[in-house]
Structure formats: C-alpha cells, structure tokens
Amino acid sequence: MTSLTLALDAMGGDFGPHVTVPAALQALSHFPHLNLILVGDRIAIGEQLRSHNATESPRLQLLHAEQVVSMSERPAQALRTRRQSSMRLALDLVRDGQADACVSAGNTGALMAMSKVVLRTLPGIDRPALVARVPTVIGKPVYLLDLGANVVCDSDTLFQFAVMGSVLAECSDQRGAPKVALLNVGTEQVKGNDQVQQAAQLLQQTPQLNYAGFIEGDAIFKGDVDVIVCDGFVGNVTLKTTEGAARLLLQQVHDAIQGNLLAKLLGWLLKKRLKQLNQHMNPDQYNGASLLGLRGIVVKSHGNVDKTAFFHAIEQAVAEVEQQVPLQIKDRLESVLLEKS
Amino acid sequence: MTSLTLALDAMGGDFGPHVTVPAALQALSHFPHLNLILVGDRIAIGEQLRSHNATESPRLQLLHAEQVVSMSERPAQALRTRRQSSMRLALDLVRDGQADACVSAGNTGALMAMSKVVLRTLPGIDRPALVARVPTVIGKPVYLLDLGANVVCDSDTLFQFAVMGSVLAECSDQRGAPKVALLNVGTEQVKGNDQVQQAAQLLQQTPQLNYAGFIEGDAIFKGDVDVIVCDGFVGNVTLKTTEGAARLLLQQVHDAIQGNLLAKLLGWLLKKRLKQLNQHMNPDQYNGASLLGLRGIVVKSHGNVDKTAFFHAIEQAVAEVEQQVPLQIKDRLESVLLEKS
C-alpha cells in the first residue's frame, strides 16, 4: 500500500492536543502506511507526546503554529486574522501537496471558509457541503448533507449538494444509481418552503440522478434512500438531535439493565448484542464529516469528542484519500453539470 | 368535576374512524365527565360504533359531515372548498361554543389554516404555532415549537412563539420563570441565520421572559430548558427525526431480546421495566400537539397513529380545557406584549 500523509489540526476541538495527539498515535499504529503532521503549538503538543512516551519521527512530524482559531470566532474574522493558525497551516499543507488531507475538530464555519479560500471549490460548485454518514435500520448508512456549513441555501445550492452526495455514495460505497431525497416536512409535492420546492423541480429535470422525492425526518433511519439533502441549519439540528436521542436512549437501556439483579443477568446475556447496538448507533462511530466539493480532502471531527471518535475522523480521511474522492466527484460532476447546462 | 365536550374530527388521519372511534370510546370510559361529538361520515362512523357494540348517547353524539380534507390537499384549497368537511365542522363547533376543544389527526396545514380563520388568533399573535412536549433525560418534558404549522418564520414570529411557549410551560406545568431557548446550529452568539439572530436580540430585550440563549439539537433531551423555539421546518424535521431514532432504538432492543431464548424469558420477567422504558420514550405517548395562539383549543394528533396514541391526543385536549390554556395565554401575553410595545 502506498504511504499517505495527513495534516492534523492538533489544536482544534474542545480538548485540543489532549485528544488529537493520543488519537494520532492510535492511528499511526493502526495504519502502517500512514504519516501524520501535527500542526499546532509546539509546547502543548510536545507535552502530550511525552506523556504518551512518543517522540517526533519520520512518520510523525510537528509543524509549529503561532495561532489557534477559537470555537466562537466569526469565519470572516478567522479568515482574515488567523493565517498562522493550526487550522490554516494544516490546510496550506494540503494545498501545497505536502499532505493528502486535513483533519480538524475546530470551528466549523472557519474551517469551511478557510478551506474554500485555500483549496477552492471544484468547477460547477459554489459552496462546499459538510456531509456525514448516518446509521439506518438496514445497516447501510445514509449520506446526509449539508450539516451546517451553509445555514442558508438556495435551490441551486441544494441541487449541487444532491449531485455531490450522489457521486460520493456511488464512489465511496459502490452504490449504483444512489437514491437521492430532499428532507422536507411532508412527502406530498405541495409541502415545504420555496427552496425545497424549487430544488425538487431541478432534480426532477436531471435524468443522471436517481431522485426519490421528499423524505420526512422519521424516514432518515429506514435506509430507503442513499443520500438526503437539506440546508445546513436543518441538517445540523437533525444530526445533533439524532445524536442526542441516541445517547439518551442508550443511557436508558443501560439504566434499565442496571436496575436489578435479573436485569443485570439479562444485560450480561445480551452483552454482545448491546455492544453491537451501541456500535451500530453510537454517534462517535460516525464521527468525521467531509467537506465535499473542494479540490482537496478536509474531514471535520466534532469538537466535543474523545480519542476514539477523533481516531474515526482520521480513519475517514484515510478512506477518502484511498478512494480519491475529490477526483471522482470532479469527473462525475462534469458529466452531470455539463450535460445539464 | 364539571363536564366538558370535545369535537373529534373522526375522518382525520390515515385510518379515520377505524382509529378515532375506538379511541373515543376508550376516552369516554376513562373520563366520566367527558362528552364527545364525532364529526364525519355517518355511515363509516356508525359501522365502527356497531363493531364495538356502541351506540349514540347523550355523551356520544354524531354530527354528519359530507366532506373530508385529504392529507395532500393544499391548505388554501381546503379552506375554500371544504366548508362541509369533518375538520371544518369540528372547528365550527368550538367557535359556536358547542365544544370546548377540537381534536384532529388530519392534514396539518389545512387544520392550521382553518383554525386561524374559524377561531382567530389571540391579540398580538400573527400566526398560531404547533407545540408538543418532548421527553428529556430528567423526566420533565420540554415544549418544542413550531412543529410545522409555519415552514417560514421571521424573527417577530419566533419571538411570539417564545412568549406563547413560556406561558404554556408556566400554566400547564406550574413551572416558574420557564427557561426559553432558540434552537440553533451552535450556542455561540455569532451562530445561525438572520431570523434566529434577530429573534435572540428581541428576547434579550424582554425581561418578562427567562431567555436562556441558543441550544443545539443534542441538548433538546437534556431538560436544561423548558421551551425550545424554532421555525416549523426545523421543528417538524427535528420532532420526526427524534421519533424515527427512538423507534429504531426501541426496535433494536426488542430484537436483541427476542433473539435469545433465555433473554426472552428474562425479558418477560422484566416486562414492567421494559414497558416503562417504552412508555417513557415511545413517541406515541407524546402524541397530541397543540395549536397555540388561537382563541380556542385545537389538538393535532399525528396522522399515522393507533387507538392508544389518538387517545393520548384526546387526553391532551381534556387537560388544556381544564387548565383553560388560551385564557391564561391571553392574560400573560397581554402583560408581556403590552409592556414591551
């Protein structure tokens, strides 16, 4: 397997190097062909490396960054004033070909804005979208986009998201003619706001896409479709709501089982099943959303995650590099958008 | 206890009288002080009554309606052409004082449009909102609005929803100074779209409300706040997503228990515990959303529900009549809005 290099924004997320450094070390031992560049404050990263008995090596390099983008910073301000931040320098490494992808748990808006400026969008794409896989009943995850990169979207943007999502499902999972749906408040044709209504019309006029109509929130997990498109406000709230509901329910099951001796015995008998359930539904397993539509690979981790979840985001970036996702999207996009125009 | 009368749109929902009639009979035996008027097709309702060995009585009257509002009908069209529908006649009964509240599982948009015209909104309220209780970790449900009555909302509308939700939480649950939050893509002040940003400013300037800032999707279930406000598109998708996720997880637990003989036996022994879990989290238990901001009580049941869930919607209407919710909202609204203007 050819080696690949990822640039990690080591300062991003709620816990910075406390999470990113141990996750990086886990990834290095998991993927023998992986090299990492940790970008961030030399001292903070160095401390974490020492506390895990690790040192810099040809596979684990350190790039010092003077600045950090805070979680509450406005994207435009971060873009203007954080040119020496760990996030920015990690993206610069991708632009300059020194890294194959960037992983960050930092400020989503800033990551989106910087990625757009540093890496630029693919031809035909106005705005990148944040996409993630969401678990379904039938095991096969569904791609949901946008997850918050664009809180306001017109119908053209929703249409572009549909094209990108379809291509991603096709090239990442070898799904033939992925079914693409628009998230809406009802399945009837008359439902929804203007953007969704007009995006539906655009999709109906695009034979290269397998448009499956509107879908409601409760159908997200049924696995009937492969890609679900919505604006970033709706998508962000939907994804976080799902995660909140899943965590609440898993907790309730756990509490019910801990409640008495018999139940504990039941829990023990079902240990494997419940572990599977947890793995199947635990949001941490699905950490790692991709910024789609860029000329490079950027994976966004949740900010508030542990080492394991950040490891999954790194894993996601490795997969996308190996599948050459942006190149495949570019090729398919050209055929869909050019035939259309 | 003084008697009260509800008008049921017996034809509404996916199953019409097959669900509404048995639920009505269950409600009559559960609430000795309750009278019901079943509004809809005389023959279809009569058949259901006979099949349950029930007949018309002083407590169970039947009002024939020639028309039905279909689930896919456009609200404006329903308003114009369905004046003899079961939904419309049930609302007319409330307007004319012959019923204290109306319950319908029919077309949400049509119910909203008709309610607004027939019952009118309270002074200071432009548009009614659909509100429901959502379960939280701490047992105390949170009020979420709007759930789909208004797919596009400006900041004034969101502000009015916040006032109404706060009053509802206060008068239904005796919660003092309910905490009101805006659902958003982040908790930082800079996050969100224009409507949410401007609504936040309005709420910050209203000392009569206990405004708690922005809340993200995963915090809905934490029970930190009492009322969560969003536009109807976001709220509808959020509620349905929650329900979908809850059903999926409960099914997974059920499947895990059925998969193993010993587990099945223990599951049987723990039936009560698992039933509690189901009751706590099953969306059917929370069926019955209220149209808030009207001069009368209208409860909307989900369309695709069984007898038990529709019974819970009737139960919800009974509670609102007893608490005189619209009157209380009117009083509190006047104090908040008048002091504000």
Residue A230 lies in a domain: yes
Distance (Å) of CA B204 to CA A171, A300, B211? 48, 32, 7
CA–CA min distance A16, chain B (Å):
19
Number of other CB atoms surrounding residue A177 within 10 Å: 12
Contact assignment for A237 to B237 by CB distance below 8 Å? yes
Contact residues on chain A for B252, CB-CB shorter than 8 A = 277, 280-281
Residue B22 and residue B76 in one domain: yes
Give which of B253, B264, B279 to mutate to test A binding, by max A Cβ within 10 Å: B253
Query: Least CB-CB distance to B216: which of A222, A240, A250?
Result: A240
Closest CA to A133 of A13, A237, A6, A281: A281
Burial, A175: exposed, middle or buried (Cβ in 10 Å; 0-12, 13-18, 19+)? middle
Residues 6+ apart with CB under 8 A from B331: none
Contact residues on chain A for B244, CB-CB shorter than 8 A = 217-222
Q: What is the DSSP string of B286-312?
A: G--EEEETBSSEEEE--SS--HHHHHH
Judged by phi (left if over 0) then psi (alpha if -120 to 50, else beta), residue B177 lies in: left
Distance (Å) of CA B17 to CA A137, A297, B106, B312, B334? 31, 55, 12, 16, 40
Instruction: Confirm if B173 and B143 have CB atoms less than 8 A apart.
Output: no
Q: Contacts from B135-138 at CB under 8 Å and sequence distance 24+?
A: B135/B221, B135/B280, B135/B281, B135/B286, B136/A248, B136/B220, B136/B221, B136/B222, B136/B223, B137/A248, B137/A251, B137/B221, B137/B222, B137/B223, B138/B222, B138/B223
pLDDT at position A263, please?
66
Residue B253 lies in a domain: yes
Contact assignment for B148 to A185 by CB distance below 8 Å? yes
Closest CA to B37 of B27, A60, B70: B27
Residue B29 and residue B109 in one domain: yes
pLDDT at position B212, please?
97
CA–CA min distance A341, chain B (Å):
31
Contact assignment for A218 to B74 by CB distance below 8 Å? no
What's the rounded Cα separation, in Å, for the pair A57 and A264?
A: 47
Positive or negative, the CA dihedral A74, A79, A82, A87 is: positive
Residue A333 lies in a domain: no
What's the rounded Cα separation, in Å, for the pair A247 and B246?
A: 10
pLDDT at position A277, please?
56
What's the rounded Cα separation, in Å, for the pair A166 and A143?
A: 9
Residue B145 and residue B277 in one domain: yes
| CATH code of the domain in which A137 resides | 3.40.718.10
Contact assignment for A273 to B256 by CB distance below 8 Å? yes
Residue B245 and residue B302 in one domain: no
Instruction: Confirm if B82 and B66 have CB atoms less than 8 A apart.
Output: no
Residue of B nearest to A71 (CA): B188
Query: Least CB-CB distance to A263: which of B72, B136, B273?
Result: B273
Residue B100 and residue B237 in one domain: no
pLDDT in tens, A139-188: 788 999 998 888 899 999 999 999 999 988 987 777 789 999 999 998 88
Residue reference for tokens 């886990």: A26
Residue A71 lies in a domain: yes
- Domain boundary among the residues B239, B261, B286 is at B286
- Domain boundary among the residues A258, A286, A314 is at A286
What's the rounded Cα separation, in Å, for the pair A233 and A193?
A: 14
- Domain boundary among the residues A286, A312, A334 is at A286
pLDDT at position B271, please?
63
Residue B95 and residue B143 in one domain: no
Residue reference for tokens 């919710």: B325
Residue A23 and residue A112 in one domain: yes
Q: What is the DSSP string of A42-55?
A: HHHHHHHHHHTT--
Contact residues on chain B for A78, CB-CB shorter than 8 A = none
What's the rounded Cα separation, in Å, for the pair B95 and A30?
A: 69
Residue B59 lies in a domain: yes
Read off the tokens for A167. Answer: 């291509």
Lowest mean pLDDT of A113-117, A282-286, B59-63, name the range. Answer: A282-286
Instruction: Confirm if B287 and B305 have CB atoms less than 8 A apart.
Output: yes
CB pairs under 8 A between A and B: 176
pLDDT at position A148, please?
84
Contact residues on chain A for B286, CB-CB shorter than 8 A = none
Contact assignment for A263 to B277 by CB distance below 8 Å? no
Residue B333 lies in a domain: no
Contact residues on chain A for B193, CB-CB shorter than 8 A = 151-152, 233
CA–CA min distance B261, chain A (Å):
10
Q: Which domain holds residue B199?
A: 126-286
Read off the tokens for B71. Answer: 């689930």
pLDDT tens-place values along chain B, 341 residues long: 689 999 999 999 999 999 999 999 999 999 999 999 999 999 999 999 999 999 999 999 999 999 999 988 889 999 999 999 999 999 999 999 999 999 999 998 899 999 999 999 998 888 899 998 888 878 788 999 998 888 899 999 999 999 999 988 987 777 789 999 999 998 888 889 999 999 999 999 999 899 999 999 989 989 999 999 999 999 999 988 888 887 777 777 777 777 666 666 666 655 665 566 555 555 555 677 899 999 999 999 988 889 999 999 999 999 999 988 888 888 887 777 666 55
pLDDT at position A245, please?
80
Distance (Å) of CA B148 to CA A14, A135, B110, B235? 34, 25, 12, 6
CA–CA min distance A160, chain B (Å):
21
Residue B277 and residue B165 in one domain: yes
Residue B257 and residue B211 in one domain: yes
Contact residues on chain B for A73, CB-CB shorter than 8 A = 190
3-state secondary structure of A336: helix
Pairing of strands A129-134, A101-104: unpaired
Contact assignment for B72 to A137 by CB distance below 8 Å? no
Residue A39 and residue A157 in one domain: no
Residue A340 lies in a domain: no
Which residues make beta-bridge pairs with A130?
A: A291
Contact residues on chain B for A256, CB-CB shorter than 8 A = 270, 273-274, 276-277
Lowest mean pLDDT of A9-13, A171-175, A282-286, B233-237, name the range. Answer: A282-286
Pairing of strands B101-104, B297-300: parallel
Residue A243 and residue A306 in one domain: no
Instruction: Confirm if A228 and A220 have CB atoms less than 8 A apart.
Output: yes
Residue of B nearest to A146 (CA): B185
Residue of B nearest to A256 (CA): B273
Residue B308 lies in a domain: yes
Contact assignment for B217 to A230 by CB distance below 8 Å? no
Residue B109 and residue B6 in one domain: yes
Contact residues on chain A for B240, CB-CB shorter than 8 A = 216-218
Number of other CB atoms surrounding residue B174 within 10 Å: 8
CA–CA min distance B272, chain A (Å):
10
CA–CA min distance A240, chain B (Å):
5
Q: State how many domains chain B has.
A: 2
